[in-house]
Structure 1
Amino acid sequence: MTTQIATTPEQSARLQACGVDLSTADMAWKEDLTSIRLQVLNHPWIENLRNLHYSPAWSFSALLALIPRCLHSPMGTEYRLELSTLRIHTEFEVQWFSGHDRWHPTDDNGKYVRLWDKSPIEACVKTIEWLTLKGIKLDNSHDTDCN
């Protein structure tokens, strides 16, 4: 089993397609003539790094910082963020729970969207894609209205 500590270049491209602020990337892929390797950034991402053959990457904690800690239904019910493994298998799921029921993520056609994967990082990337599709603001640093 390989440990994944940050988004892959493909996952990073998907996040960029969602409009994720590049300054939230806390890691970077460095590509040279013979290899591609992951590096931790000790400063926020700056666009000039692209000229040096870097591309942005997000750690698991940086991804979690983008996902709202709470969502509110039209009726005012507060749903709190949870990351858990599913009971029926070992995949990680990102969900929001009110204490009584779960927020059911759906696409624009009302079809249920599965926000889970064997990789917790991929589950977060899927969640960010869904949040973007729904127009829900990324960045949980302003979740002051969570009770």
Structure 2
Amino acid sequence: MPVWLMSECLQDAHKTGEADLRAHMEEMKGHHIAEIEELKLENADFAKRLEDLYATKVWLLTEGSRLLAKIIHKGPEMTQAVAAVNNAMSAIGVNSRVHGGYLHPLKKKKTPYGEVPLINWNAEAELNTAIACFDSLSFPVVSNLSNFVDEPLSKI
């Protein structure tokens, strides 16, 4: 094969290889651009989710905690427990006043102290029971919070 023909063949092969390389580089460039656009969209989604999480945190620490305390404070569990303690304390107070008022004129009374009808002899046990109930209170509003872990702030 003559040298000039070999030279032309090499030049053609070089041009073909160069064209193939450029085509491959353009294809890779297009692929990378598509990946970059996909990552930008994913990043925008993460940024939105981060903003939502921050808004949820702010709401939870301000409005959410205030609302939770209000619901607990006004809920039937707290109201009943406080009423039970209050009623038991009142009974103990009445017993104390009756006892004090009874001992003073004891010398003139014919009824033994143990038979005084106004005294609630179970008042101390009732108070202890009421305090135990108060100490073991559970609030459905708190225990149900775990059901909202995956819910959006608007649903909470």
Instruction: Give the TM-score taking structure 2 as reference length.
Output: 0.19
Instruction: Please state which structure has a larger fraction of its residues in strand.
Output: 1
Answer with 1 or 2: which has the greater Rg.
2
Q: Which has the higher contact order (CA 8 A, sep 6+)?
A: 2
